[in-house]
Structure 1
Amino acid sequence: MVVLAASIISKSGKALASRQYVDMSRIRIEGLLAAFPKLVGTGKQHTYVETENVRYVYQPIEELYLLLITNKQSNILEDLDTLRLLSKIVPEYSPSLDEEGVCKAAFQLIFAFDEAISLGNKENVTVPQIKQYCEMESHEEKLHKLIMQSKINDTNDLMRRKVTEIEKNKIDRGKTGEGFAPTRTPNNFNDMNIRGGPGSEINPIFTDKTRGRSSAPSPAPIKMSGAMKLSKAHKPNQFLESLKAEGEVILEDTQLSTIQSRSSSSILPSDPITVTIEEKLNVTVKRDGGVNNFDVQGTLALQVLNDTDGYIQLQIENQDAPGLSFRTHPNIDKQLFNGQKIVGARDPTRPFPSGQNETPLVKWRIEGLNESSLPLTVSCWPSTSGNTTVVNIEYEASDMFDLHNVIVSIPLPALRDAPSVKQIDGEWRYDSRNSVLEWSVMLIDQSNRSGSMEFSVPAADPSTFFPISVGFSASKTFSNVKVTAILPLQGGGDTGRLKDRKGTGSGDSYKVLLLDDPRHTEKHVETALPQVVPSVTPEAARQLFHESRQKGAALVIVAVKEHAEFYAQMMVRHGLRSAIEPESDMAALPTGVSRDGLRPAIEPESDMAA
């Protein structure tokens, strides 16, 4: 006789442990095991079922099946003898005859099956002999375990020493930042998830992480950091390639590259100040429509690399949404935040803590949202006709968000082949391991606010296709919290103020001017000026460029003297000529008017060297 495979499966055809004794692809054996529950009858013991190509010899074991797959030319009596031997082996190694017990002892069972069957033929052995063979000690194995344990002990010792060194460094760096509790948050940009669809009770989860680096002025330039790319070539793995050939999707390399990129970018950030805005949405949607719970929670966190850059305040603004409430860190000046929406330390003489970790400063929550506020809804309509179930999926997106990298995951019954997709707006992929059909749309905007997909599978229960999981990313949040400016403090002595507040600090308000220069180009001004002054849009920067060309100077912003000087210095760093003058002197020009316009208070380095 020739045994093709020996398996332990559940009543629904799920493979718990399976050993193949001939060259057979994974898709093939999974298809044979998934088809068995439909062929077996009820009320029978120690029997067999034949198909066109193979014979199933099986024995029920409580809620499981012990199954042999053989060719039709094998001797049925020898098949039953092999089955009886395996049925005695399973209770010896499995702590309980259920899915959990078999999965825990899967490797021991497979080793025992190998002792009982060799190259598809039964060995002349007994259960005690099999146990003895499996428990035989190996000197090489003992030596290998001793070596591995020695390496583990050495690694643990090294880890403890490193932890001690890190703790000492944290204590030394954290002396100036006591009182704040920095935390670590993920580095991914925009990640929103939703589970929904009519037909069953589901628990959707939305998360919208809007993470960015503020382009507001600070003691050093601030910019958006690009994603890291790994360009080192690597040799293909033959085992992974064989799995891909069988229909498996391999994601380990991609995930490792992503983790390395994020770790590298978090360990060596290029920006001195990073502001992170994150929102998480907790939503519960019913199958037949309606929302049970819609809760939005957000966080604003700050990361400062150097202590000298920590003497700042954050000017924020937000959309007036019903049910929006804020909470600030205990060391944040609540009166300043409630009155002017400025996030600043309660003690201005102390900087924000510096280091590689982010410090949460403000949290908020939005309650009372309804179904009309959902960014995306998905409808699923399965219908069975004869031996086929046709499923129609449709999505509808609201106008609030433009959604990127949308992936709709529909669970499917155990299938031998991929489903037949008849119509789709986008692309699809079948995950045979998890029995999931993934529908992907790269971008949902005004051109495709709705879309649909239709596919068919063998007859199945409509509840099999729920719950539906949807993942996407977006660049907006519900609260629309923004950091409009980073206000520097001179040694922590002066508080940040809006441009319409005067009479405090070192003097009244001053005007920051953009001076005409032959080296200025429209594209350069459009790019550099919004990085220095976040309230200036690229379109406004272009207008200021043309105004400076016509009049010799253009008004950029009005601020107190310290802030105006800072803006002027930052403009010079970005290659722009700048000057400041008191706001009260509306008609006066700075001294030193020349043919090129106003003489700047601070010249770029190239001019000063000349």
Structure 2
Amino acid sequence: MVVLAASITTSSGKPLLSRQFKDLTKDRVIELLSNFQNLVSSISSDHTFVEDEHVRYVYKPIDEFYIILVTNRQSNIIQDLATLNIFSQTVNATISNFDEYEIYENAFEILSSFDEIICMGYKENLSYTQVANFLAMESHEEKIQEIISRNKENEATEQRKRRAKEIARREQDRKNGIVPQDYGMDHQSRFAANTNDPSVRKAFDSYYSHASAEASQAYSGQNAHDDTLNNYYASKGQPQAQSQQQSHSQGLNVSSGGASMQKSHSKNFASSANRAPVADKSSYFGTAVPEATNNGILLSVNETINAVFNRDGSIESSELKGVFEIRVNDAALADATIKLVDSLKVDDRSYQFKTHPNIDKSLFLKEKRIALKDKAKSFPHNDQSLGVLRWRKVGAANDSQLVPLEMSTWVSANSDSSSFDVTLEFEVNQDMGDMNVENLGFIVPVPTQSVRINEDSNEFGASIVDINDEVGIVIKLASALEAGQQGSVSFTIEADMEDALFPINTHFTVSNSSLSGVNVDSVVKTSDNAEAYPFDIVRTIATDEYNIV
């Protein structure tokens, strides 16, 4: 057999992509595909191939598209059909939804699979499994390089965090009037550096012999102190460098007010320093719905929102991610088919729906049902969650369709220029219907103790629940918000500059709701759709990175 080209077209004849394995021009390929459309439209019965006077077209319709192999007329039709089947399997494995946009997005992967199947017009002796393995092969050296790069990035991130914490600690010490611990060594190093070198010691002696009386007296006193300590520690068998370090440390401790300030500093920050860093924000704010009991079939619709707001309230970006999970703990109920609500728009191009590989995707797209491809099998009944459907949607700038809670800020500097009055305004998006926002809270990335809630405008019972060196100041509201309700939280905080207060991370949860509209109409037995199964469903919306920048 000789394959001249492999192409994908729409049912109306529009060519989407084509791979030529022989010397064919683009115009010739377009002419052949146009001729194919004329031949297919003129026949009334279902065939898998058509011919003209020059070439043979072996094709397979999938939804509203054709996968076409253009071969010569002398080609073995049996081999052509087997090759076409491999082409169809690779295309189905590469894309999940048959639409033009996804075909264009995955054009490189599709054409790469075509090249694995056909070489110089002749089919390679490969099965679909071998083609999939070749496409998935990874370079060991590339993986090692990726690991090295990732480790370097993680190390640089940790170093940056440590440096930022050190700068913040020193700045807080400076505001509290605490002398840095290394000040004594830096201050006294003018006299102590390299004093064991005779030439250096002679140069210091010569300089300070012509200096002012105060400087000469300070230098003489320091030398006498160092000589005494060196002789003492030498008699004890300790290294001189260690003795100098201990002497500098002692000099700092006995400096005027140094001990008392150090003790005060330890007392003020002991509580925050001893706290373990908390990575999970839900430990502060909680969840809207407690862990549900599985009475046989438990269905979960969990959605996560990411959004970025400017300080004036405009939306920079928004994103929704969701997953539909099923838990079965009764073997008698494992043979189930889940019927989603009719209002769900599975053909909405703004959403990217992806089904589990074992789920019948065509049944989901046509009838909005979730069932296994193999009807002889059933869902696992080990009471473990199994994700069967995922979806994602990215909102445009200033598009509030994925934003249940709209945010804005007002920041004004006080007269002392070291503190700011911050007001966070929020409003539940009334276009989303009956949606209650719960567990609302904010995280301000400034770990300072100098912060207070302004009680004059604290109608929702906001309070500071924690001040953590890792995350900052955690503020939580005691009341939930109803649809269309608006409010604000005002607080005064000490900071070096306004930008240090941002980004402010917002956390909230919404129960019994879904932005995508995913919901369950019924659960029935797969073999007998008339028999209904009992089920429980939990739907939640939570935030991940919901920031004001």
Instruction: Note whether the superposition's TM-score is higher than 0.5.
Output: no
TM-score by length of 1: 0.40
Q: Identify the structure with the greater helix proportion.
A: 2
TM-score by length of 2: 0.44
Larger radius of gyration: 2
